[in-house]
Amino acid sequence: MTIPLPDDIEWRTSAGLTPYADALAEMEARAAAVGVGEARELLWMLEHPPVYTAGTSAEPGDLIDARFPVIPTGRGGKYTYHGPGQRIGYVVLDLTKRGRDVRRYVHALESWVIAALGELGVEAFAVDGRVGIWTLDPNAPGGREAKIGAIGVRVRRWVTLHGFSVNVAPDLAHFGGIVPCGLPEYGVTSLQSLGIPADLATFDAALALTADAFLETVSCP
């Protein structure tokens, strides 16, 4: 897949499962290099083996069953599950040349994921005061809102780290070991659970199609 991006931004897709610790180390090294002008910015798409990550506001009571490794991480948010069938997007951008507006960046990231899901026929949305990307799940009692994606970011010296995760076709039972993002009253869903015949490559194509709009939004002065 050819991604039409500016020359100073790399799009990378990693095959197979990338251990979380390895990805974290590589992402942080890349962010440091971007910050001093020694590397291109990065949009990195990958998958992790099953793991729970704890954000900076994680509550111990939200870890119900540590059936997978639990790794503290510097991103914002609470507990999140990552695993096979989930698209992880790590976004390493230099905000010094994009207005230094963290709130705008987060909203642009949310809008990018929502637009990509829309390309696949999923009406997704963000909710003020509630972290994540949401949609209506007809499989839930009463067709309630369910979480289909997570947003977790960190900004170090105006360079972004971490990014988003979207449930394409993970084992949703794996979320049972945590209270996802500290919201026990809401469930999680996936493209597969919604009956959308999409794999990771299909979702990547939707992300690529909407990447220009994301970069334009986040770079708007």
Opening angle at CA 58, ends 56 and 64, nearest 5: 155
- Strand duo 130-136 + 145-156: pairing: antiparallel
Closest C-alpha among 58, 3, 53, 55 to residue 23: 53
Cβ within 8 Å of residue 152, ≥6 positions away: 53, 55, 73, 75, 76, 77, 80, 162, 163, 164, 165
CA 67 distance to own-chain centroid: 22
CA 74 distance to own-chain centroid: 14
Catalytic residues: 181
Cα distance from N-terminal residue to C-terminal residue, the chain: 30
